[in-house]
Amino acid sequence: MDGNGLVARMSRLSPLAASEAKAIAGLEGRQRSWRRGAYLQRENDRADELFILRDGWAIAATLLNDGSRQIVQVHLPGELMGSANLLATRVPQSLCAVTEVTAAVIDRGALARLMKDHPRLAAYFLALAELDRLAMADRIASLGRGSGRARIAAFLIDLMIRLRRLDPVVENSFAMRLTQEQIGDATGLTAVHVNRMMRALVDDGLVTRDGAVVVVKDEPQLMRLAHFVDRGSIDTSWIPAPV
């Protein structure tokens, strides 16, 4: 019931019936912690668990057969992780703790029962999935057409906006919890080049850095460089009302 559980997240999309909220909250019971660098799940594991990130940052990543790694997404607290495990029988992407992490573990079967008991809730999961697809499409555009600088800019902007949504205290700065190597794996660049592009952003006066803290000095300009588009408001009126 704190602000970043699944119940809260879903309520924000559309009101939940009390029974539904209770059923969802029931899912989130089992909780575990992982230390920095630990894997919540590995590629090709049996896909029998999903997670809700409670605290810390985590990444979803695939290893390519040449040894390189691509980070598919960076998860922040409150997010559902491993939702592909609903459909897949084998885990498609590893989940790895970037910081110390706490997450609720959801049994795949329990989630299936939830949807059997409350079919309407599938619409909520659909909404979450569609939201994520929107974000993924933007990431595809950034990777496909952005220069190194643009990719880093997009990456920083994305993180900042999401952190801001999570906690309005975040104004124009945040603590970067990823190493430059990880940023490279997320943006399709090498760690060395990430370093240079970061520096370039600093030299251009778009951001400053103090240790791990990134301060965005010129947000509009950074957004322009990142080809950022505000996806605007979303509409969830199509989610059926509770009976």
Partner DNA sequence: CGACGCATTGAAGAGAATCAACCGGTGTGG
Partner DNA sequence: CCACACCGGTTGATTCTCTTCAATGCGTCG
By the criterion CB under 8 A, which residues form the site for a second copy?
Answer: 47, 60, 62, 64-66, 68-70, 72, 83-84, 86-90, 92-93, 108, 111-112, 115-116, 119-120, 122-123, 125-127, 129-134, 136-141, 143-146, 185-188, 224, 227, 229, 231-241
Supply the minimum distance, in Å, between the C-beta of residue 163 and a second copy: 21
Residue 43 contacts residue 93 (beta carbons within 8 Å):
yes
Number of other residues whose CB lies within 10 A of the CB of residue 223: 18
State residue 126 phi and psi, 5-degree precision: -60, -45
Interaction with DNA in 93-152: which residues (CB under 7 A)? Answer: 147-149
Q: 69-75 and 39-41: which strand pairing?
A: unpaired
**Partner interacting with residue 196 (select from a second copy, DNA, none; CB below 5-8 Å by kind):** DNA
Q: Is 236 in the site for DNA (CB under 7 A)?
A: no
For 56-82, letters b (16+ CB in 10 Å) and e give bbbbbbeeeeeeebebbbbbbbbbbbb
Supply the minimum distance, in Å, between the C-beta of residue 181 and a second copy: 13
**Partner interacting with residue 115 (select from DNA, a second copy, none; CB below 5-8 Å by kind):** a second copy
Q: Is 19 in the site for DNA (CB under 7 A)?
A: no
Token code pair at residue 123:
């619409």
Question: Pick from 94, 2, 111, 4: which is nearest to 43 by CA?
Answer: 94
Which one of residues 11, 190, 221, 236 is an interface residue with DNA (CB under 7 A)? 190
